[in-house]
């Protein structure tokens, strides 16, 4: 954190020396609603209808020179019992682009992984009220979204007919937020962390914008490990590799995308002399498609699928399947509204013991809606 503060101080120092008219300020606010037929979802009291889903962010960015830019984004979210009213730093970085083939970012940097990891909290850019939860669980986005460290990036032309390659490589530290879903699940099991578990992470992403207009394919590997201690308990997640392979096709009014993700790891909780292994082999994928009916109306559908292959996949706790129908209406360039129907089978993702004290039904249906403002 020390050098992040230094970076910001350097940026602020330069800022005071030049015109503030170059500073760009953008932000967004969203308000969501969930109503589910059976289980309570995402720590909200969704079975009775819940509005406890608010997101807001404001970003400041300044180009200090043609090659150097600094910026910061402050973010707050409340999702049921997760998040809270406090602002936290979403990202804060210095970005030095030597040329289009090579640039560096340092600070708290958004983590590129799959099609949407680094942008999963930017509701305004998506048709979907909820992204495919098997791949981008909103209750844990605070963990995957960014890391503290550095990144090298660039774009490489590969010939007149080859399209272009974009790459990102990063290394740093990731932290399990105390107000996020992973910690909440441990809390529901009686393990109370007072310090956020953390660990080293490194990885990258390479995406090929193919010469076939609109078609993009990519691959992202991420290596990470986590360690933490709570009173009487320690958490150890040995180094493991997550991967994502994806493709996207956007042409005219049509949009299609698909992704396959895998995260095999062996989480171990140690309580005194007792060790509790929690083997996970998370495999998830989704396919989605959408069509823009008019300038203001967009509609689409996706199917999202998850299994924990390390456990009995016939049990609802070890799988999740979600059929989704979505619609979005843009009132103008700033305001929009969304509505979405979910048909959930299994409860391996997004359900918590504390908000479902009487157990979980294997299936539930859900209505999700959101309104948002972005400038």
Partner 1 sequence: MANRSVKISEIRSADLRAIYTGEKTRFADGSHVVPVTLKGGPAHEVFLRNHLGENPEEFRAQWRKAVFTGRGAMPKTFESELTLLEYVAATPGAIGYVSRISTQDDNVKSLPVVK
| 50: DSSP letter | B
Interacting residue with partner 1 among 61, 198, 266, 270 (CB under 8 A): 61
- Work out whether 125 is an interface residue with partner 1 (CB under 8 A): yes
C-alpha dihedral over 45, 46, 52, 54, to 10 degrees?
150
The residue among 105 and 305 lying less far from partner 1, judged by its C-beta, is 105
Q: Which of 5, 100, 232, 293 binds partner 1 (CB under 8 A)?
A: 100
Q: How many positions of this chain bind partner 1 (CB under 8 A)?
A: 41
Alpha carbon of 167 to those of 70, 82, 152, 164, 248: distances in Å? 21, 33, 8, 10, 16
Q: How far is the CB of 58 from partner 1 (least distance, A)?
A: 10
Tell whether residue 339 is a contact of partner 1 (CB under 8 A). no
Least CB distance to partner 1 at residue 266 (A): 32
CB of 247 to partner 1, least distance (A): 18
What does the block give as tokens for 190? 């009686």
CA distance 261 to 100: 29
Q: Given phi > 0 = left and psi -120 to 50 = alpha, else beta, which region is 46? A: alpha
Interface residue with partner 1 among 34, 57, 64, 237 (CB under 8 A) is 57
Q: How far is CA 180 from CA 169, 175, 185, 195, in A?
A: 26, 10, 9, 13
Q: Which stretch binds partner 1 (CB under 8 A): 48-56, 65-73, 234-242, 275-283?
A: 65-73
* Residue 20 sits in the site that holds partner 1 (CB under 8 A): no
Q: If binding is defined by CB under 8 A, does position 109 make contact with partner 1?
A: yes
SS3 readout for 298-360: EEEEEEEEEEECCCCCCCHHHEEEEEEEEEEEECCCCEEEEEEEEEEECCCCCECCCCCCCCC
Element (H or E) spanning 168, and its range? Answer: strand 164-175
Residue 36: partners with Cβ closer than 8 Å, 6 or more residues away: 46, 47, 344, 364, 365, 366, 367
Q: How far is the CB of 213 from partner 1 (least distance, A)?
A: 6
Find the shortest distance in angstroms from Cβ 292 to partner 1. 7
Rank residues 105 and 321 by Cβ distance to partner 1 and give the closer one: 105
Query: Which residue from 27, 4, 248 is spatially nearest to 121, judged by alpha carbons?
Result: 27
Phi/psi for 141 (5° steps) reads: -65, -30
Interface with partner 1, residue 161, by CB under 8 A? no
Measured from the CB of residue 184, what is the shortest distance to partner 1 in angstroms? 25
CB of 120 to partner 1, least distance (A): 10
Residue 299 within binding range of partner 1, rule CB under 8 A: no
Task: Report the nearest approach of partner 1 to the CB of residue 24 (Å).
Answer: 5
Give the x/- contact pattern for partner 1 in 254-293, rule: CB under 8 A. --------------------------------------x-
Q: Can you tell me the distance from the alpha carbon of 319 to that of 281, in angstroms, rounded to the nearest whole number? A: 11
Which residue ranges make up the site for partner 1 (CB under 8 A)?
24, 26, 28, 57, 59, 61, 63, 66, 69, 71, 73, 91-93, 95, 97, 99-100, 105, 109-110, 118-119, 121-122, 124-125, 155, 164, 166, 213-214, 250-253, 292, 295, 330, 333, 374
């Amino acid at each position: 954190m020390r050098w992040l503060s230094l970076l910001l101080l350097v940026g602020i120092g330069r800022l005071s020396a030049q015109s503030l008219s170059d500073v760009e300020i953008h932000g967004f606010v969203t308000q969501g609603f969930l109503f589910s037929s059976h289980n309570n979802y995402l720590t909200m009291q969704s079975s009775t209808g819940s509005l406890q889903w608010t997101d807001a962010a404001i970003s400041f960015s300044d180009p200090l020179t043609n090659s150097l830019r600094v910026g910061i984004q402050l973010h707050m979210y409340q999702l049921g019992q997760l998040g809270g009213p406090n602002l936290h730093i979403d990202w804060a970085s210095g970005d030095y682009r030597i040329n289009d083939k090579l640039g560096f970012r340092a600070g708290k940097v958004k983590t590129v992984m799959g099609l949407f990891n680094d942008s999963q909290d930017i509701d305004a850019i998506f048709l979907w009220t909820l992204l495919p939860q098997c791949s981008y669980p909103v209750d844990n986005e605070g963990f995957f979204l960014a890391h503290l460290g550095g990144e090298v990036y660039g774009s490489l032309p590969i010939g007149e007919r080859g399209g272009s390659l974009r790459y990102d490589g990063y290394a740093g530290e990731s932290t399990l937020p105390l107000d996020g879903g992973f910690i909440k699940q441990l809390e529901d099991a009686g393990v109370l962390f007072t310090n956020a578990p953390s660990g080293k992470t490194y990885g990258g992403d390479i995406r090929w914008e193919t010469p076939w207009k609109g078609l993009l394919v990519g691959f992202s590997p991420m290596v990470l490990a986590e360690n933490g201690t709570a009173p009487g308990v320690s958490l150890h997640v040995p180094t493991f590799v997550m991967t994502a392979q994806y493709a996207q096709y956007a042409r005219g009014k049509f949009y299609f995308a698909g992704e396959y993700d895998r995260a095999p790891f062996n989480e171990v909780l140690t309580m005194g002399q007792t060790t509790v292994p929690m083997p996970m082999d998370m495999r998830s994928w989704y396919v989605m498609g959408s069509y823009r009916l008019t300038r203001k109306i967009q509609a689409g559908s996706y199917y999202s699928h998850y299994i924990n292959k390390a456990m009995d996949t016939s049990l609802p706790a070890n799988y999740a399947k979600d059929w989704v129908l979505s619609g979005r209406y843009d009132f103008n360039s700033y305001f929009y509204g969304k509505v979405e129907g979910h048909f959930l089978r299994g409860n391996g993702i997004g359900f918590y013991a504390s908000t479902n004290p009487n157990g979980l039904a294997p299936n539930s249906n859900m209505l999700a809606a959101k309104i948002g403002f972005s400038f």
